[in-house]
Chains A and B, each alone.
Chain A
Amino acid sequence: MIKRFLLVSALLCALGMLAFAPVQAEGETLSVAWPYQVPPTGHFNTFASGGITLGQYMDLHEPPLAVLMWATGEYAGMVAEEFGWDDDGNYVIKVAEGYSWSDGSHITADDVMATFNIFRLRGDAVWANMTGIEKVDDYTVKFHMSAPSSLAERIILTTNLRPASVFGDIADRAAMMSPDDDGWNDLLQELTEFRPESPVSGGPYTILPDTITEASLMLELNPGGFAGDIQNYDMVQMWNGETEVVTPLVANAELHYITHGIPPTTEEDFANRGIDIVRSGMNNGPGLYVNHDVYPLNMVEVRQAIAYAIDRIQNGFVSLGESGVAVEYMTGMSDGLSEAWLSDDTLDMLNTYDHDLMKAEELLMSAGFSRDDMGNWMDDNGDALAFELTFPQEYADWSAAAENATAQLNDFGFDITARGVQFQQHPQDIYSSNFEMAIRNWGLGDPIPGRSYLQAYNRYNGQGEVAGEGAGAGMNFDNNVSYSGGMINVFDVSNASSQGTDAMEQASLVSQLAISYNELLPAIPLWERYTNNALNRNFIMVPDSSDSVFANFGGGADNWMTYLILTGVTAPADM
């Protein structure tokens, strides 16, 4: 019996060793990652939910019209070789000639028309400023605008182009209809259920359907597509999965670049393995929101005191290591945007709320608050400054930020209780005003500053009714504010600052927003999240980390890696 058992064990071990035999790695293949769903859940209709878009790497198979260089504020043309406003205030783009889709059809104005007509069918934001779209010639398209807008320009230019050969039929029918027509919803349903048999690429690489597995998919070179003639790779391997899934592959040098956010301990391990960590400001991060209906959080002195009482450098570091960078200017937008849009004089006059417990104490005392025998703060009614601070419990970095802020404020004499809330329920609680203090995001990963302010003044303020979970008003902040520059409606100014094309006028409005925010602190920014992309330079050659291209953090559009691929810069390290 024992002999038989040993024999079976030896046989199993032998089979195991055969199964675990090392597999030879591919040759010059760019190895990157993005999560996707496999068919049948995943499909090739990139307009519909479930489509295999590959996030920022969508640029490789459905190329953008242009990319914004964040360091200079200038657009670099991609499929669009010429673009700009005409004298009538309409936007005109000219598509570069000589490129083709992987099904053989040429990239022309028809593709632009198809793409934007489908956007109209879906009700996309770009049509809020558009009154129509016109094909001027085979390669030129005119966007008829209700008013010129730098926001509309950005949305148009960062659009990923789709093939008219695939979507043209539905797009043409949509162009002939209006949303009030009977068949509009049926057409919309037809669009969402449309399943192209195979992907059609206009970029340098094409998805190979037969290679799609749960593990990865392959994109092969599309020589006729945009930038297909300047590529340094024959294939791109797209590994599938979120952070915990791709981390072992990076450690094992099977995967060479990821944009996934990684915890500080993993970052340290990668660094020990010689993997570079690339950091770019993401223009957003966690902030401390307060319910302005809760006394005395509606008092500006209290919010300012909180800002002074929290050491933001410590808070950022314990939350996300070197990628949690304390906010300096406290303007409601990132420090990078503040420096780009505000004059030196304006920057100098901003209060940076450096960690200073004495100033925090003075502010509370000036408001009539006092400490009890135990050193805890009491407001002018004799009530303790006791609040609940909620945070999305699944977000490790925001949880750490909440717990650290709680500890610091309690050390100062507040009585804060931190409570984790399921991450999908948490924003609903904020929309419904069902909170006292909460950690939510300030800012937005977008180079247009006005959009950063819409997080505080719109998303978390006054949307409770639409948001569905109640009839609350978010953080209950009155958007009509009075500050040292006068009275403004911050929501209106936020929207106005991204309209028009006069940069000076826009900067003036942004200054109003920045100064008023700095004075009133409707929500208290804690730190800005920086990327910690793992880049294995033993396999991939890109410019040094000091290059200005790395300002293009690009969670969606404008990503620096896809820009470098599209411009033929990214190459194997051994080239």
Chain B
Amino acid sequence: MAHHQQQSRAHLTLSDRLYDIASNVYNNYTARVFLIAIITIWAVMTFTFALVRLMPGNPLDVLIEQILTAEGVSYQEAYDRVAASFNIDSDATTLDQYFQWLGDLLRLDLGTSITSPGTKVIDEIARFLPWTVFAVGTGLLISFVLGIFAGMPMAYYRGSKLDHILSFFSSFSTGVPNYIWGLLIIIVPGIAWRWFDIGALRGTYDAGLTPGLNAEFILSALEHAALPVFTYVIAILGTWMLSMKSSTTGVLNEDYVNVAEARGLKERTVISSYVGRNAALPLFTQLTISIGFVLSSGVVVEEIFVYWGIGHHLFQSITVRDYTSLQGVVLLLTAAIVFSNLFADLTYGLLDPRVRVSGEK
């Protein structure tokens, strides 16, 4: 009897503990949104796992078709050779593959590439990811800073020639997609005017250099990133300018700005401490969320400039139906977007005391 009661208490204790954990997670905002983020990522990845396998063609078909067209052998022979080359276990069911993949993922193992057997997906991501983060991230930051500085005078001098010119540029910049800007840069200054050798600026750095913290490599990387970064800046800049103009215009009508001016504060102080800071706040949230989209926004630009980052790798994985590589990249993109939103949620209170105070109440 005593033994039974001990067991029952242990059982209740475990249940209680689980209940406590669930309650704590539910009642704790940070834990709750974090859990939702994890569930979101799992759902997206499961959907992706199914979706890529529903796409027409598979990794074997792609190569089989090439062999059939080039050599005219029988389908069976082409299939056998490709299967040998890939070393694929074609007998594994989709469900087996899913649980295998999920199990590996829990051990943080993204598997190996299907089309390049033996190459780890994580190594491929490590090869391509930094260049996208560098180029798109730099473009995003430059455009953000420029947008803030250009957007404020647009609001201050709204209706002036400066406002009209900058507003026209902003609308034009926003309306033209980044790949059109990329093509224009290649065709006009590159081919028509011959300002630079297109080929020499391709790639992420010059051949023969070893990546590292040395001046030659850093300068080379900067030179090769110039065109993609310029493209990202010019394509995104207009959005920040218009957002900043709109935000500043709203702040200029606030009472505290009028009070500050009435108190006789210097114009520079009013602009920087009263208008600028408050107008830029909503843009910080927008910037934080944009960071999540950094990784996925450069697919076409990376192709145009042959500046291979994670966007190119995603495109290549889709083209050859490399399921494992594709899943690895999609996981990365999903996690980036979900966690950047999470980050924005959790940090906005730190940036805006009004939100923090309101939350505490």
Q: Determine if chain A interacts with chain B.
A: yes
- Pairwise interchain contact B70-A214, C-beta atoms closer than 8 A: no
- Pairwise interchain contact B72-A455, C-beta atoms closer than 8 A: yes
Is B197 in contact with chain A by the CB < 8 A criterion?
yes
- Pairwise interchain contact A252-B113, C-beta atoms closer than 8 A: no
Is A125 in contact with chain B by the CB < 8 A criterion?
yes
Q: How far is the CB of B270 from chain A (nearest CB, A)?
A: 12
Q: Chain B at the A interface: mostly helix, strand, loop or mixed?
A: helix
Residues in B200-215 with C-beta less than 8 Å from chain A: 200-208, 210
Which residues on B sit within 8 Å (CB–CB) of A213?
Answer: 202-207
- Pairwise interchain contact A251-B191, C-beta atoms closer than 8 A: yes
Which residues on A sit within 8 Å (CB–CB) of B73?
Answer: 125, 454
If A49-B116, A124-B81, A248-B198 touch, does A459 touch B75 (CB 8 Å cutoff)?
yes
Smallest CB gap from A451: residue in B: B72
- Pairwise interchain contact A122-B81, C-beta atoms closer than 8 A: yes
Is A254 in contact with chain B by the CB < 8 A criterion?
yes
Q: How far is the CB of A190 from chain B (nearest CB, A)?
A: 9
- Pairwise interchain contact B72-A459, C-beta atoms closer than 8 A: yes
Residues in B123-160 with C-beta less than 8 Å from chain A: 123-124, 127, 146, 149-150, 152-153, 156
Interface string of A10-43 (1 = CB under 8 A from B): 0000001001111101000000000001111111
- Identify A424's interface contact among B57, B69, B86, CB under 8 A: B57
Is B172 in contact with chain A by the CB < 8 A criterion?
no
If A40-B123, A446-B72 touch, does A49 touch B197 (CB 8 Å cutoff)?
no
- Identify B62's interface contact among A424, A431, A454, CB under 8 A: A424
Is B226 in contact with chain A by the CB < 8 A criterion?
yes
Stretch with Cβ within 8 A of B (4 or more), from A61-69, A215-223, A322-330: A215-223
- Identify A445's interface contact among B70, B152, B162, B200, CB under 8 A: B70
- Identify A50's interface contact among B117, B222, B223, CB under 8 A: B117
- Pairwise interchain contact A245-B303, C-beta atoms closer than 8 A: yes
> How many Å lie between the Cα of A123 and that of B80 in the bound state?
7
If A4-B149, A188-B87 touch, does A19 touch B306 (CB 8 Å cutoff)?
no
If A1-B153, A8-B146 touch, does A252 touch B68 (CB 8 Å cutoff)?
no
- Pairwise interchain contact A254-B307, C-beta atoms closer than 8 A: no
If A249-B199, A252-B199, A459-B68 touch, does A41 touch B74 (CB 8 Å cutoff)?
no
Which residues on B sit within 8 Å (CB–CB) of A188?
Answer: 84, 87
Is A511 in contact with chain B by the CB < 8 A criterion?
no
Is B85 in contact with chain A by the CB < 8 A criterion?
yes
Is B118 in contact with chain A by the CB < 8 A criterion?
yes
> How many Å lie between the Cα of A424 and that of B68 in the bound state?
13
Which residues on A sit within 8 Å (CB–CB) of B201?
Answer: 20, 23
- Identify B149's interface contact among A5, A50, A123, CB under 8 A: A5
- Pairwise interchain contact B70-A555, C-beta atoms closer than 8 A: yes
- Pairwise interchain contact A43-B196, C-beta atoms closer than 8 A: no
Is A48 in contact with chain B by the CB < 8 A criterion?
yes
Is A298 in contact with chain B by the CB < 8 A criterion?
no
Q: How far is the CB of B31 from chain A (nearest CB, A)?
A: 38
Which residues on A sit within 8 Å (CB–CB) of B199?
Answer: 215-216, 239, 249, 252, 254-255
> How many Å lie between the Cα of A182 and that of B110 in the bound state?
29
Is B339 in contact with chain A by the CB < 8 A criterion?
no
Residues in B24-38 with C-beta less than 8 Å from chain A: none
Q: How far is the CB of A492 from chain B (nearest CB, A)?
A: 13
Is A536 in contact with chain B by the CB < 8 A criterion?
no
Which residues on A sit within 8 Å (CB–CB) of B206?
Answer: 213
- Pairwise interchain contact A210-B79, C-beta atoms closer than 8 A: no
Is B244 in contact with chain A by the CB < 8 A criterion?
no
> How many Å lie between the Cα of A4 and that of B117 in the bound state?
54
Tally B residues with Cβ within 8 Å of A. Answer: 74
- Identify B72's interface contact among A16, A43, A218, A454, CB under 8 A: A454
- Pairwise interchain contact A122-B198, C-beta atoms closer than 8 A: no
If A122-B81, A192-B118, A245-B306 touch, does A20 touch B189 (CB 8 Å cutoff)?
yes
> How many Å lie between the Cα of A446 and that of B67 in the bound state?
12
If A216-B207, A444-B72 touch, does A5 touch B198 (CB 8 Å cutoff)?
no
If A20-B195, A123-B81 touch, does A466 touch B76 (CB 8 Å cutoff)?
yes
Q: How far is the CB of B117 from chain A (nearest CB, A)?
A: 4
Q: How far is the CB of A78 from chain B (nearest CB, A)?
A: 20
Which residues on B sit within 8 Å (CB–CB) of A8?
Answer: 146, 149
Q: How far is the CB of A91 from chain B (nearest CB, A)?
A: 19
Which residues on B sit within 8 Å (CB–CB) of A260?
Answer: none
Is A201 in contact with chain B by the CB < 8 A criterion?
no
- Pairwise interchain contact A49-B85, C-beta atoms closer than 8 A: yes
Which residues on A sit within 8 Å (CB–CB) of B326?
Answer: none
- Pairwise interchain contact A252-B194, C-beta atoms closer than 8 A: yes
Which residues on B sit within 8 Å (CB–CB) of A20?
Answer: 189, 195-196, 201, 226
Is B308 in contact with chain A by the CB < 8 A criterion?
yes
- Pairwise interchain contact B75-A125, C-beta atoms closer than 8 A: no
Beyond the given pairs A50-B117, A216-B202, A427-B61, 16 more chain A to chain B contacts, judged by CB atoms under 8 angstroms and listed by A's residue number, are A1-B149, A8-B149, A22-B194, A39-B127, A41-B127, A43-B116, A48-B118, A50-B119, A123-B80, A210-B208, A213-B203, A216-B207, A254-B197, A424-B62, A458-B74, A459-B72
A-B residue pairs, 3 tightest by C-beta: A424-B57, A193-B118, A50-B116
Residues on A facing B (Cβ under 8 Å): 1-2, 4-5, 8, 16, 19-23, 25, 37-43, 47-50, 121-125, 188-189, 192-195, 210-218, 239-241, 245, 248-249, 251-252, 254-255, 284, 422, 424-425, 427-428, 431, 441, 444-446, 451-452, 454-455, 458-459, 463, 466-468, 555-556
Q: What are 25 pairs between A and B in contact, CB < 8 Å?
A: A19-B222, A23-B201, A25-B197, A42-B116, A43-B119, A49-B86, A49-B116, A123-B77, A188-B84, A188-B87, A211-B207, A213-B205, A213-B207, A214-B203, A241-B306, A245-B306, A248-B186, A254-B199, A422-B57, A428-B56, A454-B72, A454-B73, A458-B72, A466-B75, A466-B76
